Structure 1
Amino acid sequence: MTIQWRLSLAAGIIGVALAGCSTSPAPDTRPTTQTYSSAEQARLAVEDLLQQAAKSQPIQAARLRVQAANILLRMDRKDAALDILKDVELELLPPSLRYEVAQSRARAALDAQQPQQALRYLEFPSDQTYRPSTEQVTRIGELRAEAFRLQNDPISEAFALIDISSHEPDPQLQQQYHDQIWSALRSLSPTQLIGLSQQTGNTYYEQGWFELALIHKQATQLDQLSYAMSEWNTLWESHPARALPPQAGEAVSSEPIIAQRIAVLLPMQGKLTKASAAIREGIMAAYFNEQANGKPVPQLQFIDSTQVSSPDQLRLLIHEQSIDMVIGPLEKPYVSALNNSEPMSIPVLALNYDNTADYSQIYQFGLAAEDEARQAARKAWQDGHRIMLTLVPLTNWGTRVRTAFEEEFSALGGRVADSTRFDKQEDFSQDVSTLLATDKSEARAKQIFKMSNQRIKFEERRRKDVDAIFLSALPGDARQIKPILAFHYAGKLPIYATSHVFAGNPDDKRDRDLNDIQFVDMPWSLAPASDTKRFLAQKRQDTDTRFGRLYALGIDAFKIHPYLNQLAATDGAAVQGETGSLTVDKNKKVVRNMQWAKFRNGSPQLQQPRTVQQ
């Protein structure tokens, strides 16, 4: 059932009961389910009603004309219906019938896309001796709201909807009103919402709605929004929007995950011991930062994943220790085992990815280089490049990065013309020459010399069919590759790179050879240091290294754990973290939207994101 359903009934469009003759009892203008089997029958009914109206007293004539107009509206003859209703003199009618005529006039005007005329019809003088029914007030309010919507006046539309929703007893209809209110308010700017929330004379219902919309407009990150919503829920405990939040904002209006006891499942033995120690320190740094800011923190229990090493063992631990949530494991096989086992009874945030399954039943979060490659593909496409080359190391991670870039770029409509994987530094020039096809121009010159036995003037040239290059290389390799690209006439081709090109510590002397390379990296490496990073930097000397990014992973794992369900349920919801702006996709994988920088004079300079023209 929709509100438009109600509007149609209110106007009498669905059908009317016809009076048999002028001596019959006064016709009832209330809508019924009676219909006509043909357009001809409907036309004859209209003629009969108008003939009766011409012979009747004003009140009776008005009722008959309303019936005739309603039939015409159903026949989609809006102009004819309006012409009939224009002849009705409201001043001569009793208040109840006056409401019916005004509604029919307004409905016909709205159907004819004349919202201003509809509003004039609804501004008839009120009768102090007559109290309209709740249903009549609701019908008028719905028509006014629709007229304001057609006039692109969301503020007036919101006021009209808030008024009628505050009197609506039906939860289903109230939910529909709330969704429409939310749509109108969300279209307003922060300045408009501030003005509405500060004006005097707002009702309790209006003020609550304005403050709710303003919170959602000003809080750009889910953690900020969740905190502000907690305060709003306390202050506006009796507000209808608390009991029935708009569906578009329901997920972020709900409470975050409250975990009293969290098990952190990390390996304390084996080759991942050092990495897990850094993640653990990041988790603890975030824990102490939250505690210092007066926020409630859960009890953390660190578990050796080499001892509790199977889903069944973990399930038993959760039961015995009354665990509310698990952060970990880090080992990829363990993550896959969890993802393919029976679902856990509590949320699990794994710190690696299982790429073997199409669907994930646990949350997954890591620092996969593939994320950077996909973001580089999107950035290159947005910058207008359509044909690219890729240059990656001859390693497993180089292959994964190249595949991720090519898949994303191809999905966008671009094409990777060629790809080269490099290995030994002494071969870099040959690798680049092959990629840019400069070796082919040299080979042609040699062939001509061999055939003619004459030396010719020869100028080496690169291929001209590409727009840009995707590069994934460690700093030492990238510092050599960039000048070699220039030597082979590709110095002006834009280069998009992963974070591997940046060591983490600005070095303007060594990195001058990287000038003009654009690369994607996490805020941990590019943005001003947060309080948590400064805290760790006082204890550790490796926070600005590639290894130091593991601290950021631990910090963000702790930071986002309360918001995982909300992130997964709400399109566009994000938490700003050390590893990027974090969202959760439909497969429960945490997606990092990172920052872009460009080397200038040997130092990375943050690039401002492109703004979309409205």
Structure 2
Amino acid sequence: MGKWIKTALGCGVLYGVLSGLCAPALANTTATIAQAQAAGNSPGRSQSTGLHQTAPSTVPTTPAVPLVPVVRMALLLPLDSAALGRAAEAVRAGFMAAYERDKDGVIVTLIETDDSVQQTLSGYKDAVGNQDLVVGPLSRAGVSAIAQSGAVRIPTIALNQAETAGAEALAPSALPRNLLLMGLSLDDEARQVADWASAGQTERRALIVSTNAAWQRRAAKAFGAQWQRRGLHAQSMVLGFASGFLDGNGLDQLRHRIQNEKPALLFVALDAEQTRQLREAVGQDVVMYGTSQLNPYALPDWDTAERLPQLEQVHLLDLPWQLQADHSAVMAYPRTTLPADQRRSVDLERLYALGIDAYRVAREIAARHAHFEIDGVTGKLRVDFGAGATRFERIEQTAIYQDGAVVPDFAAQ
């Protein structure tokens, strides 16, 4: 069973229980903020969790303020995992940053687990019996287990994708109606890139390049399937990669293929450093598209980052959080603070942004909005939930390398 930390922050109270169920939970969604506000004195600090807490006190018989509905949200994250703890903390920080901006009528309960399927399922099932809505889990294995558990009885916003034992994505028809998947997905990015690059084209041929890394194989497969779905032709090439370098013989073969086959574009399911090596080997004559992995810096770090002229005019997608400092939603939320000499992790920045948008989506679903759109920090979000089939779509910002740096490409949208 995971550790539960009951956070009545929207009501001015925070208290925690480290094992078993939460301290006396509000009985239902007609519980009052006034009752929660009366539940504590001066804040203390929990040695086990690092969270502020107050001791419960007697709830007055007569509320001090009028009754208002309270929504109980559980945030289920693998904070006790050695492998996923930092990622989970980034999501938690983003979620709570959004909560602090819009917290009226919401109580958040943090459920800490490790990354095991058993503990994730246990924490989730406990939450279903005590909460109105669950956000999480974060791991692909955890989401897959919950999706197939038969336990999804309340609205649940999962932060990753669900897949079968054979690592194939679960079909939408196999997902519970109360389950919304809104994780950041390179597969989804690859499909969006295919739609973007193929727009208005009828005979464009693409060459897809990746290594054997699992995420790259998935992105390459997703791009190829979407490209062919649009009636276009694509071929693939897998490059060897070891000790930080793409295989030289493979790069020579790729260069010859480009010269002989003359593809309209390359889709590079690679990271920025791998693509830099590839571009140096094959030149800049062929158009290149890729995913957010081509952006190696967090937005605040580009001011002092080393430029990458080898990637000039390469096209990619990324989150508004990573591209648009003047975006209205991006400006509304604080960034994490780091020592001046420490570089931000782009992956953690994206997960922080995911936490922000997860809370915003959760509030809309808690308000029983069945169809809504959010101009979020992770992209333009479209959600159908609670009336018919559940659907989630994220459209990320198109971008391009100019003068060796990643900038938004508004003309492409």
TM-score by length of 2: 0.70
Which of 251, 254, 279 is matched with 2:91 structurally? 279
Helix, strand or coil for the counterpart of 2:348? coil
* Residue 430 (str. 1) matches residue 249 (str. 2): yes
Higher relative contact order (CA 8 A, sep 6+): 2
* CA displacement, residues 444-481 of structure 1 (integer Å, 9 cap, x when unaligned): xxxxxxxxxxxxxxxxx812441111012222222221
Q: CA 1:520/1:313 → structure 2, altered by over 3 Å: closer, same or farther?
A: closer
Match of 2:152 in 1: 344
* CA displacement, residues 228-287 of structure 1 (integer Å, 9 cap, x when unaligned): xxxxxxxxxxxxxxxxxxxxxxxxxxxxxx861111111122211111111111111111
Structure 1: distance between partners of 2:210 and 2:398:
19
Structure 2: distance between partners of 1:262 and 1:464:
54
Helix, strand or coil for the counterpart of 1:560? helix
* Residue 546 (str. 1) matches residue 343 (str. 2): no
Within 5 A, what are the aligned runs for 1:94-243? none
Q: CA 1:516/1:566 → structure 2, altered by over 3 Å: closer, same or farther?
A: farther
- Following superposition, the deviation at residue 421 of structure 1 comes to 3.0
Contact 1:376 1:497 in 2 (8 A): yes
Structure with the higher helix share, 1 or 2: 1
* Residue 314 (str. 1) matches residue 124 (str. 2): yes
Contact 1:519 1:597 in 2 (8 A): yes
Q: CA 1:335/1:477 → structure 2, altered by over 3 Å: closer, same or farther?
A: same
* Residue 536 (str. 1) matches residue 336 (str. 2): yes
Contact 2:76 2:123 in 1 (8 A): no
Structure 2: distance between partners of 1:332 and 1:303:
17
Structure 2: distance between partners of 1:483 and 1:587:
47
Structure 2: distance between partners of 1:568 and 1:437:
54
- Following superposition, the deviation at residue 510 of structure 1 comes to 3.2
Q: CA 1:548/1:401 → structure 2, altered by over 3 Å: closer, same or farther?
A: same
* CA displacement, residues 561-604 of structure 1 (integer Å, 9 cap, x when unaligned): 1334899954xx42111111112378645322001111111122
Structure 2: distance between partners of 1:420 and 1:265:
37
Amino acid of the residue matched to residue 108 of structure 2? L
Structure 2: distance between partners of 1:495 and 1:567:
42
Match of 1:269 in 2: 80
Structure 2: distance between partners of 1:436 and 1:259:
61
Match of 1:94 in 2: none
Helix, strand or coil for the counterpart of 1:557? helix
* Residue 303 (str. 1) matches residue 100 (str. 2): no
Q: CA 1:402/1:495 → structure 2, altered by over 3 Å: closer, same or farther?
A: same
Contact 2:398 2:408 in 1 (8 A): yes
* Residue 325 (str. 1) matches residue 325 (str. 2): no
Match of 1:401 in 2: 219
Amino acid of the residue matched to residue 261 of structure 1? R
Structure 2: distance between partners of 1:330 and 1:497:
25
Match of 1:511 in 2: 308
Structure 1: distance between partners of 2:211 and 2:348:
19
Q: CA 1:567/1:395 → structure 2, altered by over 3 Å: closer, same or farther?
A: farther
Within 5 A, what are the aligned runs for 1:60-79? none
RMSD: 2.9
* CA displacement, residues 181-222 of structure 1 (integer Å, 9 cap, x when unaligned): xxxxxxxxxxxxxxxxxxxxxxxxxxxxxxxxxxxxxxxxxx
Which of 348, 368, 375 is matched with 1:576 structurally? 375
Structure 1: distance between partners of 2:106 and 2:410:
37
**How many residue pairs get matched?**
320
Match of 2:100 in 1: 288
Which of 166, 171, 175 is matched with 1:360 structurally? 175
Match of 2:360 in 1: 559
* Residue 472 (str. 1) matches residue 269 (str. 2): yes
- Following superposition, the deviation at residue 542 of structure 1 comes to 5.5
Match of 2:236 in 1: 418
Match of 1:593 in 2: 395
Contact 2:198 2:227 in 1 (8 A): yes
Q: CA 1:287/1:498 → structure 2, altered by over 3 Å: closer, same or farther?
A: same
Structure 1: distance between partners of 2:159 and 2:321:
18
Structure 1: distance between partners of 2:266 and 2:291:
12
Unaligned runs of 5+ in 2: 1-68, 165-169
Q: CA 1:266/1:544 → structure 2, altered by over 3 Å: closer, same or farther?
A: closer
Q: CA 1:426/1:313 → structure 2, altered by over 3 Å: closer, same or farther?
A: closer
Match of 2:210 in 1: 392
Amino acid of the residue matched to residue 318 of structure 1? V
Structure 1: distance between partners of 2:247 and 2:278:
7
- Following superposition, the deviation at residue 364 of structure 1 comes to 1.2
Contact 1:510 1:602 in 2 (8 A): yes
Q: CA 1:542/1:531 → structure 2, altered by over 3 Å: closer, same or farther?
A: farther
Percent of matched pairs sharing the same residue = 25
Helix, strand or coil for the counterpart of 2:74? strand
Match of 2:409 in 1: 607
Contact 1:391 1:421 in 2 (8 A): yes
Structure 2: distance between partners of 1:542 and 1:287:
26
In terms of Rg, which structure is larger?
Answer: 1
* Residue 499 (str. 1) matches residue 318 (str. 2): no
Structure 2: distance between partners of 1:589 and 1:394:
31
Match of 1:202 in 2: none
Unaligned runs of 5+ in 1: 1-257, 439-460
Amino acid of the residue matched to residue 88 of structure 2? S
* CA displacement, residues 467-498 of structure 1 (integer Å, 9 cap, x when unaligned): 11101222222222112121xxxx22111111
Q: CA 1:610/1:513 → structure 2, altered by over 3 Å: closer, same or farther?
A: closer
Contact 1:536 1:543 in 2 (8 A): no
